[in-house]
Structure formats: structure tokens, C-alpha cells
Amino acid sequence: MKVLKFGGTSVGSVESIRNVKNILAAGEGKKVLVLSAMAGVTNKLVEITELIKTEDHSAIAVIIEELKTKHEETIDALITDASLNSKAKSFVANVLNTLQELTQSEYSETIYAEVVTTGETMLTYIFSTFLTHSGMQNSFLNAKEFMHVSNLENPDTNYVGELFQQTIKNLEATELYITQGFVRIDSKNQVNTLKRGGSDYSATILAAAVQAEEVQIWTDIDGFHNNDPRYVENTHAIAELSFEEASELAYFGAKILHPQTISPVIKRQIPLFLKNTFTPDLPGTRISDEIHSRGLKAISAKDGITAIKIKSNRMLMAHGFLKKIFEVFDTYETAIDMITTSEIAISLTIDSDRNLPQILEELNDYGEITVENEHSIICIVGEGLIEDKSTSRLFELLNDIPVRMISYGGSNNNISLLVASKNKIQTLQGLNQKLFEHQKTPQFV
């Protein structure tokens, strides 16, 4: 069995949806298809959650009507059979009626999750009905019946697998199952999400659960590029990445993949393919436990970073000082990305300022605190990177751009630089020139 995930841009229009059908028709064997909402729909649903807070029901009604029109027009374009067309519209109407009822409730995290996952529910049913209309047998599955993920960082894929098998046990045999990404049932048995972009994570959790032979993530770019093509010219797709390389790149900002996507498939050694929905014949990127080459592979950037410096003449080298600092961040469930120390100061970075005021209040007991916002972490990745002699060229960048922190040696496969976000593009372009463009031909293609 294979698990295939198609993102919002891949199902963002009638033409794109037809294209996905053609990709499915060209492949053989059993498949589980994980779909996102149509492009733009989740943003509209997030708008609704904000309007619930202000009880602006007239604005909510306008958005719901827009969603109804968008999905009904999609149904009319895809499904000409009157019975199936009516069935799909009836389903969408029921979903939107439920959505309308939810908007009458007081805002809560559960209401938020139930609202923002509505788009996946509508699109997957429409797509399933479209395939039926096209003569492709399939079964529509409600992900809430089996995507029980209590721990976001360490999902119990065995349990998900058991629930999945129970879900399909009494269904008619088929080669294709269609379900929703993004949604989960949490430890309180309530609807929750895998966070924005989490449909990738849905796919790999499910792949591990069913012990799939491979996972395919279909998007609008032809695999991992060696640098960010939005800011850097002449980037190229990378044919092969190891699990560790891809994990580093995803965590440190590569937008093509949700940061936690890789972890469920590593233990089961399930290869993951990144493919372009609009150029399906291109090979894309294969991510696996195999190492095909060593040295520099790619660069990515993570924005929204806050740097915190704690200066203390009397306590830094005292026994247990660092432990106390880390306990503050642990209390507020805030991850630290980078850290450097000197005899009198410690600097570290976080990517969420949600609990920053409380964190700073507690840190004030340990020394003088300096906070710097609007920074970016630039991540340079490759197997055995720090042993690659050409890597030293990146330090020439210090002549041109102020670098706030450097993390080197924590991993053999990753060097991270912290720069002001206003210097991010210049840094990406400078690194591309120093690390890639000086090579006559790309080392890793």
C-alpha cells in the first residue's frame, strides 16, 4: 500500500483536481489518499474563528456563503451525473450547516479545530464522488475515526493502524481510500489539528500506521531545492536526501515539508517522495535511510526567531545554572533552537513568543536580559557537512553580513547561522554564491 498526499494548491482548482485524478489513474496498487482543503479555504475558516470571538455573525454568514458557492461550482464542473451531483451538494450543505451551528458557540480551542478542519471534509467527499462519477472505485473515510493522536511529538502509529483497520474492515474491498489531512482526535477525545501544514504529517503518521511501502507528498514544486527558489536564482532540485538531512531542512524553514513529517517513517524505513503535481514526470526528491553522497546539500531559512541573551557575572558558571534556565523554557513548553555560551552570558533562540512575557519575568531572576526580535536562522545541511573542506567558505560571509550566532559541531550534518531577518535574502544569496555557484557543476543533483 502507498500513501499519497496532495496539498491545497494541488486541489485548488477544477483543472488541478482532474490532474490529481489522472495521477491516481496512472499508478497501480492499493493507495490511501490524504487531501488538504482547497487552496484558500482554510484561511477563510481561520477568519471565521476570529469572527466568532467578536460575534460578528453577519460577516460569518458572508464567508459561509462564499464557501458554499466555491464548492458547489466545483461540484458542477466535475460531476455531471444529476444524482451524484445532488448527493455531493447535500453533503456540503450539511457540513456548512454544522459549521453555522458551531459559529453560535463561544470560542474555544475545540471550536477552532472543528471550524478550520471543515475544508478537508468537504473537499475529500467531493473528490471521492468525482472519482465515482469517473468510474474509479474508492471508499471515503472519516479521519476522525482513526487519526487518534494524543501526543503530537510522538504519535502512537500502532494504535492509529489498529483503528484504521477497524474502520475499513466492513467496507467493500477497494484499491483506493480517500481521507482528510490536518485533523486529529486528541488525548481528551476532542477534535484537534496537526497544526497548519499538518496534512504532510497526517500522511506519514498514516504510512507508518499501515506500514506503507512508500509515501508520496505532491505539491507545486519539484522536490527539495538546494536553496530557496523564491529568493535565489538558478536553484536545482535534489534527487536524494537522507532522513536526517530532510528533517533538518524541514525544521529550519524549508516550506515544502511540514517540520515533523519525517519522524513517523524513520523507524519503519519508509521512503518518502516529494513530487510536483503539475509536472508528474519529473523525479522529484526521494528521502530515505540511504546516504547517496556526503557534503553540502542545501540551505533553508526559518523566520520569526527571537534571540534572548542572559548575562550574569555571578551565576553563569555556578552548578545547575543552565538547568534552571532550561527549566523555565520547559515550564512554558517553548523549544530552544540555538544556544551559545561564554563565561558570563548565554544566548539562545526560540521560534514562538507566545509565552515570552512569562519566560522573561522568570529569567529576570538570573541576570540581565536582552531580547532581539525579527531574526532568521539560516541552516546549511549535508551528510558529514563539517568534514567537507568547501564548507569553510561560508565563514567568508562574516565579512559582508553581521551574524548574531553560529551553531557548529552540535551535528555533523548541520551548521546554523542567526541573522537579522532584514539580512536573510542577502545571506541566502551570498551563501549560494560562495557554496554552490563556485562549483562548475552541481555536486548533488
Cell 555536486 belongs to which residue?
443
289 is in an annotated binding site: no
Question: CA 392, CA 430: separation in Å to the nearest integer?
Answer: 14
Name the region of 20 (left: φ>0; alpha: ψ -120 to 50; beta: rest): alpha
120 is in an annotated binding site: yes
Question: CA 34, CA 178: separation in Å to the nearest integer?
Answer: 6
Secondary structure (3-state) at 286: strand
286 is in an annotated binding site: no
Question: CA 93, CA 184: separation in Å to the nearest integer?
Answer: 23
8 is in an annotated binding site: yes
Please enumerate in sequence order all residues whose Cβ is within 8 A of that of 337, keeping only pairs 6 or more positions apart, or say none: 252, 302, 305, 348, 349, 350, 351, 377, 416
> For the CA atoms of 55, 58, 61, 63, what is the dihedral angle to 10 degrees?
-90
Let me know the angle formed at the C-alpha of 298 by 292 and 303, rounded to the nearest 5 degrees.
145
388 is in an annotated binding site: no
365 is in an annotated binding site: no
CA nearest neighbour of 383 among 443, 325, 438: 443
182 is in an annotated binding site: no
**Annotation: binding site for substrate:** 42, 120
**Annotation: binding site for ATP:** 5-8, 219-220, 230
**Annotation: binding site:** 5-8, 42, 120, 219-220, 230
